[in-house]
Amino acid sequence: MKFKIPNYSIFEISPLGHAYSRLRLEGWKEPQALYMAWKSHPKAARLAAGLPETQIELFTKILMYKTDSAVRQWRKRRPEMEARILTLQREGPLSFYRPGALHTMGQSAQLLGREGFADRKLLLEMTGDYRPSTKTDVTTAGHPIKAGPTADDLAALLAEAQRQLTEWKPTGEGKTAVADEEE
């Protein structure tokens, strides 16, 4: 490691330290991995891990760069960096709370009656033990309801009606409304 993190033991066990380790295992270089882990966590987590609050401080005090201009070069060379940071933002901080949230949901699912129903249902869906039906079977008196006409069906009906009107001739059995208007 070419940089110096104060209180490395605190950093190492923090969510930010875990993100850094994952990025290193994925093949990111040390400074890039530290920057990405730092960027993907909120200020409070950065400070708790012993890292500075601002990007310029991270680069000058920890990574030992003169400026933070290296970020632009990294992003130009590795456009996937920004997408990986966004992924870390979604999974990183939340994964830290996942075990506690799942434990609490399990306890709530054990509540009898209505109080635990939603958590029971969600827990069973998450474990694959329950799959809600997405197919709605709408029937009337046991017979399926047929779908209405499509736009093509309506266009064909309209064309047929127009054709019949143009071909229509009075039969001579009395006067038609059209014939009445002409007289």
The pLDDT value given to residue 77: 92
Looking at per-residue pLDDT, the higher value among 94 and 123 belongs to: 123
Give the sign of the dihedral formed by CA 93, CA 98, CA 100, CA 104.
positive
What is the mean pLDDT of the segment spanning 91-108?
77
The set of long-range contacts for 22-28, using a CB threshold of 8 Å and a minimum separation of 24, is 23/84, 23/88
Does the structure show a pLDDT above 80 at 36? yes
The pTM score is 0.53
Does the structure show a pLDDT above 80 at 30? yes
The pLDDT value given to residue 129: 83
Does the structure show a pLDDT above 50 at 180? no
Mean pLDDT is lowest, of 97-101, 118-122, 168-172, for 168-172
The pLDDT value given to residue 172: 60
The pLDDT value given to residue 54: 92
Q: At 155, is the pLDDT very low, low, confident or very high (cuts 50, 70, 90)?
A: confident
The pLDDT value given to residue 81: 94
The pLDDT value given to residue 126: 82
The set of long-range contacts for 160-168, using a CB threshold of 8 Å and a minimum separation of 24, is none
Other beta carbons within 10 Å of 161: 10
* Whether 62 contacts 51, CB under 8 Å: yes
The pLDDT value given to residue 141: 63
* Whether 88 contacts 33, CB under 8 Å: no
Range with top average pLDDT, 80-94, 95-109, 166-180: 80-94
pLDDT over 70 percentage in the chain: 80
